[in-house]
């Protein structure tokens, strides 16, 4: 699903606090007319994730490691929608307003959200080779089926 030509592509970044996620955020800063970040997720980097959400005025974030969830909630506005765990990654990856999901999560934790995003008709960008090594055929089959 591509963004309309007259508006930026809405992107969810899973793994926004890692090097690939931070590079994607730099791109969003550089070309806001083409890319708008609508959701962010991190594993444990509570302060960094909250700061990213504040900088980009993002109202939806996910902390996959639930041990820092109370701290994350305390650092984000009451109006923010906070997700957690693998189910939270799936929820974020399937946001109705998202056109694309960048899967920049280390290891295989991005598989479920990647498949869910495909099933929801989102474009995906996979930055983790583990997903493709572990389940490349399933991911590619789902992507072909959804177009």
Residue-by-residue DSSP string for the chain: -PPPTTSPEEEEEETTTSHHHHHHHHHHHH-TTTEEEEEEEESS-HHHHHHHHHHTT--EEEESSGGGHHHHHHHS-TTSEEEEHHHHHHHHHT-TT-SEEEE--STTTTHHHHHHHHHTT-EEEE--HHHHHHHHHHHHHHHHHH-
Residue listed under structure tokens 């699903």: 1
What pLDDT does residue 62 have? 98
Using pLDDT thresholds of 50, 70 and 90, give the confidence band for residue 121.
very high
What pLDDT does residue 4 have? 56
Residue 99 in this model has a pLDDT that exceeds 80: yes
Using pLDDT thresholds of 50, 70 and 90, give the confidence band for residue 70.
very high
Residue 131 in this model has a pLDDT that exceeds 80: no
Q: Where are the domains of the chain?
A: 9-146
Average pLDDT value for residue range 43-60: 97
Average pLDDT value for residue range 48-56: 98
Topology annotation, domain 9-146: Rossmann fold (3.40.50)
Q: What digits encode the pLDDT tens for the residues 76-90?
A: 999 999 999 999 999
Q: How far is CA 124 from CA 14, 48, 72, in A?
A: 11, 24, 26
Average pLDDT value for residue range 110-126: 92
Q: What digits encode the pLDDT tens for the residues 25-47?
A: 999 999 999 999 999 999 999 99
């Amino acid at each position: 699903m591509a963004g309309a030509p007259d508006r930026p592509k809405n992107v969810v970044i899973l793994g926004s606090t890692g090097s690939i996620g931070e590079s994607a955020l730099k791109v969003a800063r550089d070309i806001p007319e083409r890319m708008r970040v609508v959701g962010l997720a991190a594993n444990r980097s509570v302060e960094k994730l909250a700061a990213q959400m504040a900088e980009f005025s993002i109202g939806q974030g996910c902390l996959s490691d639930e041990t820092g969830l109370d701290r994350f909630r305390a650092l984000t506005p009451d109006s923010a929608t906070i997700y957690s765990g693998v189910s939270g990654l799936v929820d974020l990856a399937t946001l109705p307003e998202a056109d694309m999901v960048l899967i920049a999560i280390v290891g295989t934790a991005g598989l479920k959200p990647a498949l869910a995003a495909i099933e929801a008709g989102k474009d995906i960008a996979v930055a983790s080779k583990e997903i493709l090594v572990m389940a490349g055929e399933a991911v590619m089959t789902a992507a072909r089926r959804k177009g």
